Amino acid sequence: MIFQNVVDVSRVLGELIAEGYPVKREDVAALIPYLTRHIKIFSDYFIDLSVSPQPLSESALSLSL
């Protein structure tokens, strides 16, 4: 789940950068992928192992200094 959080946050950051929003390294450093409030601890999860995660794009993470 942490990896999926990283993928999702990276995608959103890439979209913000593409739209012209300034995204600073120190702001990204404050983000943590360990947020678990949205995870139901006592629930059934079904994982489809045939679906690969989206690749992380280095260009999406080109942050302004």
**Token pair recorded at residue 35:** 């947020």
> Region 22-47: what's the mean pLDDT?
76
List the chain domain ranges. Answer: 2-49+57-61
pLDDT for residue 36 is more than 70: no
Rounded to the nearest integer, the mean pLDDT of the chain is: 76
| First and final C-alpha spacing in the chain | 29
Q: What is the pLDDT of residues 47-63, one digit of tens each?
A: 788 987 767 666 555 55
pLDDT for residue 65 is more than 50: no
Q: Tell me the whole-structure pTM to 2 decimals.
A: 0.57
- Facing residues of 24 across strands? 64
Contact in structure between 3 and 11 (CB atoms under 8 Å) = no
pLDDT > 90 in the chain, percent: 8
Rounded distance between C-alpha atoms, residue 23 and residue 55, angstroms: 21
**Token pair recorded at residue 61:** 């993470």
pLDDT for residue 21 is more than 90: yes
